[in-house]
């Protein structure tokens, strides 16, 4: 069934007795998605995580025996990296339009099959349309036509996202709504998207979710202007909303994340040394932060370090530290090396030095560092997503998801669920798109841009405390406008003078 030898099986399951394997025992099965790694003497989780570009928490999840500590000779399972960062990558794929295949619509009912067999059965071809209809008979039933566009040939990301979408549709269907879901494989190819638009009629479509890549979302919006009420961009933070009023971008832009963490700092700052660390490569952002902080803190308490090279020497930092006070470090760069240098330099300075580090954006390096280090320096940062596994609603969701798919949802499955449930619920129940809503993994506070569509202004504020992530909250709304924190992002303006006086539209009022 699994094509694994007996010796290999027991190598990855050292706690299983060869003579006493019982029904119900939990075992590890190795597949092509993982490699095995033999731990050498003096290696640490940190060094292994850096080498294989995986977080320590993920290593522990995949290898549960690590709860007892890492030992030389351990055999670790390490996932093979196949996915691209869909928030940053916008690379078009070559595709032969002659290979496109249209198949008849099929009905994908609720099944109790495992996810791998389900994926294998989804023979979705380029530009194919697959219909999934969910109907529940209640007194308040109404219909909704939804379209999903994903690059299924890219990686497992699309399948995970799709499962989240379907799970949201099943949940909404319980409310008594007829939902027709049409699914297309775009293959991240504009020519295929263009052929879909020319071939199929979207005049009765209520919502399009996707595509995943920003250039394709923009292309679709321009092509369908005036023909579709709303296009939801679920993963890209690089969407240009100008003159595209039919787009709703669910991912927070960088400047809004900066505003959130700086607003939190201003609201909670009382005393202590402030040190801003930046680089000449990020000089514009460095000046913005310095101007921002100077308005709310005594000028003589604000120190700054501007680096030419992508390295922060400990001696350079030490002269800026107050040995008997709180030291607040604001990092005005996303440079991973400087982030690591700052954390390692500040860690363990002594009982009299109280460090607090604030990042304008989360960097890739954070997930690879030990929680102990991050807690010691009181690391704060904004994040697009955050999930509370202690929340009862979260526990119930995960239980139902496991029962359906026999697996845990990854972040793309969670995003697929949240985005779909939020936007469809607002459409079904006639809520304003600006109505703040909380999902399992994301929150949505949409704002109409001056000349285009809608953006999500919300980002979570995360702090490492007692070796765990803790979510913090603003005391009131973003206050950066009050202190003239200016933004010159490539995206639209953060405020729209007209929208402050006009009535807020609901989803039915968003037209292309």
Domain of 56, CATH number, reads 3.10.350.10
* Model pLDDT, residue 76: 87
- Domain extent at residue 277: 255-383+464-472
Domain shared by 311 and 378, yes or no: yes
309 belongs to a structural domain: yes
Domain shared by 305 and 438, yes or no: no
How far is 214 from 220, CA to CA, in rounded Å?
A: 10
Domain shared by 337 and 468, yes or no: yes
Last residue of a domain, one of 21, 49, 79: 79
On whether the CB atoms of residues 243 and 214 are closer than 8 A, the answer is no
What's phi and psi for 90, nearest 5 deg? Answer: -135, 70
Domain shared by 390 and 371, yes or no: no
84 belongs to a structural domain: no
Domain shared by 218 and 298, yes or no: no
496 belongs to a structural domain: no
* Model pLDDT, residue 487: 41
On whether the CB atoms of residues 126 and 99 are closer than 8 A, the answer is yes
* Model pLDDT, residue 100: 27
153 belongs to a structural domain: yes
Domain shared by 342 and 214, yes or no: no
Burial of 306 (0-12, 13-18, 19+ CB in 10 A): middle
Strands 230-233 and 326-331: unpaired
1 belongs to a structural domain: no
What does the block give as tokens for 162?
């799709």
Q: How many domains does the chain have?
A: 3
What burial letters (b/e) apply to 49-59, b meaning 16+ CB within 10 Å? Answer: beebebebeeb
Nearest to 459 by CA among 286, 290, 255, 323: 255
Nearest to 440 by CA among 417, 408, 406: 417
* Model pLDDT, residue 39: 87
Per-residue pLDDT of the chain (512 residues; tens, 9 = 90+): 444 556 655 655 655 666 666 655 555 554 556 777 888 887 888 778 767 767 787 788 888 889 888 988 888 888 765 444 444 433 322 222 222 222 222 233 323 334 334 444 444 444 455 444 443 333 333 788 999 999 987 668 899 999 999 999 988 866 677 888 899 999 888 889 999 999 988 888 999 999 999 999 999 999 998 777 799 999 998 899 999 999 999 999 999 999 999 999 989 988 889 999 999 999 988 988 988 887 778 777 789 999 988 899 989 999 999 888 899 999 999 899 999 999 999 987 777 788 999 999 998 788 888 899 899 999 999 999 999 999 999 999 999 999 998 888 999 999 999 999 999 999 888 888 889 999 999 999 999 998 899 999 999 999 999 999 999 999 865 545 544 444 433 333 333 333 332 333 445 445 43
What does the block give as tokens for 327?
């030291």
Burial of 476 (0-12, 13-18, 19+ CB in 10 A): exposed
Strand pairing partners for 487? none
Domain shared by 343 and 292, yes or no: yes
171 belongs to a structural domain: yes
Phi-psi region of 272 (alpha: psi -120 to 50; beta: other; left: phi over 0): left
Q: How far is CA 199 from CA 129, 147, 193, 283, in A?
A: 11, 14, 10, 48
**How far is residue 193 CA from its own chain's centroid?**
25
Domain shared by 169 and 69, yes or no: no
**DSSP characters over 21-83:** --TT-------TTEEEEEPPTT--HHHHHHHHT--HHHHHHH-GGGGG---TT-EEEEEPP--
- In this structure, how many other beta carbons lie within 10 angstroms of the beta carbon of residue 452? 22
Q: How many residues does the chain have?
A: 512
CATH number at 322 reads 3.40.50.2300
Nearest to 332 by CA among 485, 491, 479: 485
3 state SS of 172: helix
Domain shared by 272 and 374, yes or no: yes
Burial of 279 (0-12, 13-18, 19+ CB in 10 A): buried
Domain shared by 248 and 390, yes or no: yes
Domain shared by 154 and 228, yes or no: yes
Q: How far is CA 244 from CA 214, 292, 447, 462, 488, in A?
A: 13, 31, 14, 32, 19
Nearest to 212 by CA among 155, 271, 280: 155
Nearest to 145 by CA among 134, 158, 161: 134
488 belongs to a structural domain: no
3 state SS of 142: strand
101 belongs to a structural domain: no
Kindly report the pTM of this predicted structure: 0.69
Dihedral, CA of residue 418, residue 508, residue 204 and residue 182, to nearest 10? 0
How far is 9 from 29, CA to CA, in rounded Å?
A: 7
How far is 211 from 216, CA to CA, in rounded Å?
A: 6
Domain shared by 144 and 198, yes or no: yes
Q: Which residue has the tokens 């002659």?
A: 98
* Model pLDDT, residue 511: 40
Last residue of a domain, one of 63, 79, 95: 79
């Amino acid at each position: 069934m699994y094509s694994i030898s007996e010796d290999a099986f027991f190598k990855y399951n050292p706690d299983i007795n060869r003579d006493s394997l019982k029904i119900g025992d939990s075992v590890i099965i190795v597949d092509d998605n993982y490699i095995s790694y033999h731990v050498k003497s003096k290696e640490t989780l940190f060094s292994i995580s850096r080498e294989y570009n995986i977080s320590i928490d993920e290593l522990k999840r995949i290898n549960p025996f690590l709860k007892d500590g890492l030992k030389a000779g351990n055999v670790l399972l390490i996932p093979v990296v196949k996915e691209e960062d869909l928030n940053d990558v916008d690379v078009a794929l070559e595709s032969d339009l002659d290979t496109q295949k249209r198949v008849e619509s099929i009905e994908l009912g609720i099944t109790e099959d495992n996810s791998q067999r389900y994926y294998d059965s989804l023979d979705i071809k380029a530009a194919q349309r697959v219909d999934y209809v969910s109907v529940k008979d209640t007194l308040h039933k109404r219909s909704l036509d939804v379209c999903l566009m994903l690059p299924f040939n890219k990686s497992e990301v699309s399948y995970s996202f799709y499962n989240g979408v379907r799970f949201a549709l099943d949940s909404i269907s319980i409310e008594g709504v007829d939902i027709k879901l049409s699914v297309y494989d775009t293959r991240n190819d504009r020519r295929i998207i263009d052929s879909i638009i020319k071939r199929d009629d979207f005049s009765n479509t209520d919502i399009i979710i996707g595509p995943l890549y920003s250039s394709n979302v923009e292309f679709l919006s321009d092509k369908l202007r005036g023909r579709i009420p709303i296009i939801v961009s679920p993963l890209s933070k690089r969407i240009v909303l100008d003159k595209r009023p039919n787009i709703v971008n669910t991912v927070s832009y960088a400047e809004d994340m900066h505003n959130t963490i700086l607003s939190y700092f201003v609201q909670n700052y009382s005393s202590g040394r402030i040190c801003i660390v930046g680089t000449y490569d990020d000089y514009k952002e460095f000046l913005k932060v310095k101007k921002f902080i100077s308005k709310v803190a005594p000028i003589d308490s604000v120190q700054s370090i501007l680096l030419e090279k992508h390295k922060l020497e400990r001696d350079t930092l030490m002269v800026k530290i107050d040995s008997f006070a709180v030291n607040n470090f604001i990092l005005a760069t996303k440079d991973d090396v400087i982030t690591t240098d700052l954390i390692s330099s500040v860690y363990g300075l002594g009982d009299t030095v109280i460090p607090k580090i604030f990042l304008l954006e989360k960097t890739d390096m954070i997930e690879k560092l030990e929680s102990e280090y991050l807690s010691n320096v009181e690391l704060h940062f904004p994040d697009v997503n955050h999930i509370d596994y202690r929340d009862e609603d979260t526990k119930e969701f995960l239980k139902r998801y496991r029962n359906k798919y026999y697996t845990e949802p990854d972040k793309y499955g969670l995003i697929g669920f949240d985005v779909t449930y939020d936007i469809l619920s607002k459409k079904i129940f006639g809520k304003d798109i600006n109505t703040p809503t909380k999902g399992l993994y994301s929150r949505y506070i949409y704002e109409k841009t001056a000349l285009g569509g809608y953006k999500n202004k919300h980002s979570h504020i995360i702090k490492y405390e007692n070796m765990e992530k803790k979510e913090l909250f603003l005391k009131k709304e973003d206050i950066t406008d009050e202190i003239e924190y200016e933004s010159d992002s490539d995206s639209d303006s953060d405020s729209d003078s007209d929208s402050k006086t006009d009535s807020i539209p609901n989803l039915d009022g968003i037209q292309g």
